[in-house]
Structure 1
Amino acid sequence: MNTPGTEFRLLGPLEVHDTRTGRHLPVPGARQRALLAVLLVEADRTVSVERLAEELWGDRPPRSAPNAVQAHIARLRKLLPPPTPEPPPTPGTGIVTTPGGYLLRLADATTDAQRFCLLSAEGRAVAATEPDRAVTLLSSALALWRGPALADCRSGPICTAEADRLEEHRLITLEAFYEARLRSARPDGITGELERLTDEHPLRERFYDLLMVALHRTERRGEALAVYERARHRLMAELGVEPGPSLRGRREALLRHEASLSPVRLWPGSRSDEDPYPPPYAPHATAETDELTRIGEHLAVLTRQLQQLTTRFEALTTHHPTPPDNPDHSHEERTAGHCGPIRGTEPPARK
């Protein structure tokens, strides 16, 4: 297998793809796939045997776990190209044993997650000035998805957290894609697609917001106002909160009969041209940035789990509803400040 021709695919079931020959290299066994997935998520970082064992067997690994991990690593090494002996000018892709555990050296191999994130970042960066180009870039990013991220490797905490982060980034990219389409000369057919997205993600206010703009653009103001009422009903029923300032502002603009509505969402405390989600997988992250990223990632997962638990709790206690902490903030806006950046990034410094 030639290293520059290797792509690891995480945006769907795990695959190892030789782009030179077009062949898919099979990774047999659920535990071997999970092990490779963890090493890919933590590429170029040492992962301890204890963390690998937890990913494969949960919080009660067998006594033979270290030996079993070693055996799985040996099998994976037969699939992956062996690392180049040190000190080489350019080390190759491969699994390296370190004093603290194991490390997957990515070298010149690529992942579809990296390509997705870079295309998404590039598309979002030009959305305001070159919306047609942004549509093309964001469409290419979304086309890389073959199903839920790490669909067959989500039994452990590391892969579950990574899959959740990638899914959130996919939704962010979808939002940017439809915003760019509303800015561009290609808005046809957008209302039906946004209707479907509001049904699939009923608590995500941005899709309602974009749908209201799309309906207004086609002179369907009454339907746009009905979308707001539908969003309000769902948010109140599921979470006990009113729509946030952005969605309420859109409704007020419609009631004022404003002739033109911009699809841009103004985040509280941010400039209209500022991307609240900076490009992921930025190179040369410092040690402090790396630590902050890890903390942010854990907070993102905990936030998502809290949302799920809150919804379930309220469903079980319908006869004793709990009043919301602050009904003036949307579900997304109350949690946005707690969602960490995607791996390798931090928000741009304000001057």
Structure 2
Amino acid sequence: MPDFGILGQPYAVPLHSSIGVNRRREWVILSALMTRPNAFISTNALIDAMWDTDPPRTAREQVMNCLGSIRRAIAASGADDMRLDRVRDGYVFGIDAERIDHVVFSQLYAEAESAKALGRAESSLGLYERALALWRGGVYDGLVVPSLASHAAALEEQRASAAEEYFALSIATGRGSGVIPRLLRHVGEHPLREHGVALLMTALHGEGRTEDAHAVYVRLAHRLGEGLAVGPGREVRQTLDVILNGAVPAPR
């Protein structure tokens, strides 16, 4: 299990006893460093992470103080495979990147995609499940870091895609009933992701819950019509057609 992470409330096991849990500024800076391990991050980027568009006059000094606290925490941990180096007007957080959860997640996701492309469904399922198990909440949970919002959004999108691939493979290999509770949560969190909705409809229908599957379609149609003045897309409509014809749709 990675001992550094941002897929949920940020954590850093070797540094936790030194930094504690309530020092928000240190955690914002450390989260920015964990987001880009072994890469240069300018001091200005760290200032943006902490204050976004309205830094105080003492911003640079405060960031330097936080970096000093993190450097002392690294020293106190006794780790010789981790460092925080000053490079020009910025810093590099040197660490084995596979100790950080979002790096491991992206690697497992890529491996799962490759296994799926090769037709290795069981291997792909296991890799998706391991990747999804790394998530403990939303990215940077508990911190508001606008300058890192695009990175957080990309990870959240990758998480949603991984979940839907996992659900689709589970249904295709006869495990649809086992993922219905997770699919219900997924669709509740992403009610307008039509691929997830189609998968939930398929899984419910496959378990003989055709009325529930149709109700899922109706809810989506209502949301789209009320909010965007559009109807469900092609995949969801085709899934409904197959269900109404009494067949079990094959997940895409």
With normalisation by structure 2, the TM-score equals 0.85
Q: What is the rounded CA distance, in whole Å, between the counterparts of 2:227 and 2:24 in structure 1?
A: 36
Question: Which of 209, 214, 217 is the matching residue for 1:225?
Answer: 214
- Tell me the equivalent position of 1:101: 90
Indicate the residue corresponding to 1:144 in structure 2.
134
Displacement after TM superposition at 1:105 (Å): 2.0
Contact 1:13–1:147 (CA under 8 A) maintained in structure 2: yes
Deviations 1:276-309 (A, max 9, x none): xxxxxxxxxxxxxxxxxxxxxxxxxxxxxxxxxx
CA distance in 2, matches of 1:139, 1:108: 21
Distance 2:67 2:182 in 1: 44
CA displacement at 1:146 relative to structure 2: 1.6
- Is 1:14 matched up with 2:24? no
Shift of 1:100: 3.1
Q: Matched residue of 2:177: which SS?
A: coil
Equivalent runs, 1:274-285 vs 2, <5 Å: none
How many residues align structurally? 246
**Cα RMSD, aligned residues only:** 2.6
Q: Distance in 2 between matches of 1:26 and 1:239?
A: 49
Shift of 1:230: 2.0
The question of 1:180 aligning with 2:158 is answered no
> C-alpha distance in 1, partners of 2:218/2:13?
47
Quote the offset at 1:71 in angstroms: 1.7
SS at match of 1:11: coil
8 Å Cα contact 2:4/2:100 also seen in 1:
yes
1:41 is matched with 35
Deviations 1:193-213 (A, max 9, x none): 323332332212122100121
Q: Give the whole-Å Cα distance in 2 for the aligned partners of 1:109 and 1:199.
A: 32
Secondary structure of residue in 2 paired with 1:188: helix
Residue pairs, 1:127-276, within 5 angstroms: 127=116, 129-158=119-148, 160-257=149-246, 259-264=247-252
Distance 2:59 2:10 in 1: 23
Alpha-carbon distance between aligned partners in 1 of 2:110 and 2:147, rounded to the nearest angstrom: 26
In 2, the alpha carbon distance for the partners of 1:6 and 1:131 equals 26
Whole-Å Cα distance in 2 between the matches of residues 178 and 109 of structure 1?
26
Q: Structure 1, unaligned stretches of length 5 or more?
A: 83-90, 265-351
Per-residue deviation, 1:92: 4.3
User: Which amino acid counterpart does residue 3 of structure 2 have in structure 1?
Assistant: E
Secondary structure of 1:47 counterpart = strand
Task: Give the C-alpha shift of residue 141 in structure 1.
Answer: 1.5
Q: Deviations over 1:207-263 (max 9, x none)?
A: 210012112323444443332222111111122221112212222333444x44211
- Report the Cα offset of residue 108 of structure 1: 6.0
The letter of the residue matching 1:263 is: P
Distance change (3 Å), C-alpha of 1:26 and 1:141: farther
Higher relative contact order, chain-length normalized (CA < 8 Å, sep 6+): 2
Cα distance in 2 for partners of 1:140, 1:108 equals: 17
Secondary structure, aligned partner of 1:44:
coil
SS at match of 1:102: strand
CA contact (8 A) 1:112 1:144 kept: yes
- In structure 2, the gaps of 5 or more residues are none
In the TM superposition, what is the alpha-carbon distance from 1:173 to its structure 2 partner? 1.3
